[in-house]
Structure 1
């Protein structure tokens, strides 16, 4: 195993810790609400405030990495994340716990893009597909295993343990990183900080994710939520023109002129939305409609993770054989068909068939995300990868954050005119229909797209 692969696996481990922490808290919310003697909607702030903080501070990560060095910023981020996890586990009040979640969000926002940049900053195009494949698995595995792990912890132990599990992981990651990552490759040029750009993007991200979260509180909040999301989207457009014109932007958006990068950000954002929503929708559906226990429901969702792992050794071979267009089309087709089939399962459906559908969905997601990650920086010059990485992280975070909120609102809307069971079924149909967008987009890209990575 080469040093580059060891570093990629180490960065993937830090990403896994961050993504799982952002997901696993959901399963412990009822226990937390009971412990702090407050409403479930109040405790739910622990999830939303984390996602919003991550989205706000991610644009800052590229500038900090340039200013203080990749290794230093990554180690600081992992250290703060680990310490704030301990603070969350020991928090005596909800207010202190919320404060710890803000710190976790800030450190997670620094950790994720910097980890990707450490792996990709000097990777030549011909090795991008291999190296990015190591960075995909945390985003695939963490959302699938988190509900099961969280369910087991809440059922058999105390909710505080969901934060404590970050401590050994964080300490080991830091110790290995101190010796494995070279310091002399981290010095970068210093540019003036773009305060205006940061404020604009922070406001836009905050409005979009806050609006999405507000929409899940009921239909009486939908108008205000829609206005917030629209205002946030408008601010994003405004900040885009600012970043194009200012002399020293927070990060450059010139990478959007590159076909392969632009393609991964448009269709890829739709896929990330689905990736965030499917494990959540399946877990809630099996608990609410089938009346399964959280542990039993999560044990079936885990088959999404098994599908991710099963196809992983073959994704690079498949992509090279079918090219990017062929691999992505088949991946989208698997996600679409499995979503449609999950919409028609009933309480009498054979359990192994439900597990198989989750497994197929996992295969499709894994293949698609591996292909998208291989394409993202295929034609981006080394000098522009920091900015491209920051931009991609902002878009990915917003897409993932919107996934659960969007499907929650849609199920609520559908339930106004049909039974709750049918509303959830249409939720699965919606996630399947979403795949039409990237499939149609495939028809517009060149047949040779991404060939530099082979």
Structure 2
């Protein structure tokens, strides 16, 4: 168990590095645009290109892990991520930096799902909640502290340091990984589903490109709609392919298990909401309240305080309330905080904003812990690799689309009702997204996930 915990902490460190890097670059966009004499809209390609590269190659990670061993793929991925971080800081022009960001996304696409399966593949159901608690930390911490950390690094040092901070962490991960991670058993006879990979890669690219294009303004809504429709059609073709080919890219069988299926449906809605909230709140506090990036980032950090404050108690809450009631409690916190954010004004006491941010963070922490505790709880070990690949695809798409979706909602609402009312509608929209997970949870059996809490 000690080695398993060490492995989980190491994998969490690599996940933190990836999630932090995917978010922190946003803070440096103005500085990078100025340094390379490009527009901020052009510089924002550093964010979208990373997300798209990550999404396109995630489905490949499961096959590579099985084919060559998860440990080997993870080590190569961390090495690639660390190297491209260093080269990003050394970029002499914008085109070099953009290429390095794409290669960073490629490395992250192999690192993130592999890190998760290294921990969860052999974890017994009774230990699932405990191991999940280690892997949840990066998803909770990185998006909350990235705006503040990025603002500090860019203000006090330079944009180069948002990449340089990855280097010591990456080197430490590699050295520890060589020593700690147990070697896997490659399955060299595993065939590769090229058609399935092309279809899901095209689907992810089209959907994320549609979201990114739509977030750039009204003039792009029509082409983004075309991309969205093309992405949905490609997704339907991919689903048909999964169920009708002899050796699919990953098996759809785990979707028949309710405890796994809700982690693809309800959790996707959750990610759309909680993934977009820190971004929306940051923009709201800076553009509407007129706060500085550091002051706004400090308040966003309170979401992290909610995450970390309740984290030691999440397992206790789930064990005593059981999963169904724990979900409903967490969703109610997220829904309530989002609706209350719609009511705040520049005259609202700062302490009340802090309380709402903490409450939102608590809901994020409890719900994500519960979803991850359930995800693999009823799946046999041989099915977890395929299930992990599918989970990585859906969660990455939800996170990537969340910010684009709320940007479009806010733009349309602000154009129709004015800036202030537009933000109100946007926060309400994020709260309404929680209705689906609530309804889905109400239909779950009361004893779901019982094998993880006995």
What is the TM-score with the length of structure 1 in the denominator? 0.99
Residue in 2 that maps onto 1:265? 264
CA distance in structure 1 between the aligned counterparts of 2:150 and 2:377, rounded to whole angstroms: 37
Q: In 2, distance between residues paired with 1:447 and 1:268?
A: 18
Deviation at 1:241, TM superposition (A): 1.4
Over the aligned positions, Cα root-mean-square deviation in angstroms equals 0.9
What's the counterpart of residue 92 of structure 2? Answer: 92
Structure 2: how far apart are the matches of 1:308 and 1:178? 31
Distance between the aligned counterparts of 2:197 and 2:93, measured in 1? 32
Alpha-carbon deviation of 1:287? Answer: 0.2
- Distance, in Å, in 1 between the alignment partners of 2:442 and 2:121 is 30
Moved more, 421-430 or 292-301: 421-430
1:52-71 aligned at under 5 Å gives the runs 52-71=52-71
Deviation at 1:190, TM superposition (A): 2.9
Matched with 1:201 is: 200
Q: Which residue does 2:242 correspond to in 1?
A: 243
Provide the C-alpha distance between the structure 2 equivalents of 1:182 and 1:204, rounded to a whole number of angstroms: 34
d(CA) in 1 for partners of 2:218, 2:367: 34
Matches within 5 A, 1:317-332: 317-332=316-331
The aligned counterpart of 1:78 is 78
2:49 corresponds in structure 1 to: 49
Q: Distance in 1 between matches of 2:27 and 2:200?
A: 30
Match status 1:106 vs 2:132: no
Correspondence 1:390 to 2:389: yes
Counterpart secondary structure, 2:265: helix
Matching residue of 2:37: 37
Once the two structures are TM-superposed, the CA of residue 114 in structure 1 deviates from its matched residue by 0.3
Aligned residue runs from structure 1 range 410-421, under 5 A: 410-421=409-420
1:245 and 1:225 map into 2 onto residues whose CA distance is: 30
The CA distance in 1 between the partners of 2:416 and 2:113, in whole Å, is 43
Partner in structure 1 of residue 170 of structure 2: 170
* Residue correspondences, number: 453
Is the partner of 2:144 in helix, strand or coil?
A: helix
Task: Identify the residue that residue 145 of structure 1 maps to in structure 2.
Answer: 145
Q: Which residue pairs with 2:408 in the alignment?
A: 409
How far, CA to CA, are the matches of 2:185 and 2:128 in structure 1? 20
Q: Is the 8 A contact 1:132 1:370 kept in 2?
A: yes
- Corresponding residue SS for 1:415: helix
Which deviates more from structure 2 when the two are superposed, residues 357-366 or residues 246-255? 246-255
Superposed CA offset, 1:389-431 (max 9, x none) = 0001000000000010000000000011122121112111111
Distance 1:381 1:170 in 2: 32
Q: What is the CA-CA distance between 1:245 and the residue it aligns to? A: 1.5
Contact 1:71-1:186 at 8 Å conserved across structures: no
1:159-200 Cα distance to aligned partner (Å, 9 max, x none): 0100000000000111111101122x3433531111101000
The 2-side partners of 1:240 and 1:379 are apart by 23
CA contact (8 A) 1:200 1:239 kept: yes
Please tell me whether the aligned partners of residues 68 and 188 of structure 2 are also in contact (alpha carbons under 8 angstroms).
no
What corresponds to 1:306 in structure 2?
Answer: 305
Runs of 4+ in 1 over 6 A off after TM superposition: none
Residue ranges of structure 2 left out of the alignment (5+ in a row): none
Deviation at 1:307, TM superposition (A): 0.5
Which of 118-127 and 219-228 deviates more?
A: 219-228
Separation in structure 1 between the aligned mates of residue 189 and residue 392 of structure 2, nearest angstrom: 21
Distance in 2 (CA, whole Å) between partners of 1:189 and 1:340 is 52
Which residues of structure 1 form unaligned runs of 5+?
none
Structure 1 counterpart of 2:22: 22
Measured in 1, the distance between the counterparts of 2:309 and 2:186 equals 39
Q: How does 1:6-17 map to 2 (within 5 A)?
A: 6-17=6-17
**1:250-276 deviations in whole A, cap 9, x for unaligned?**
111111111111111100000111121
SS at match of 2:190: coil
Scaled by the length of structure 2, the TM-score of the pair is 0.99
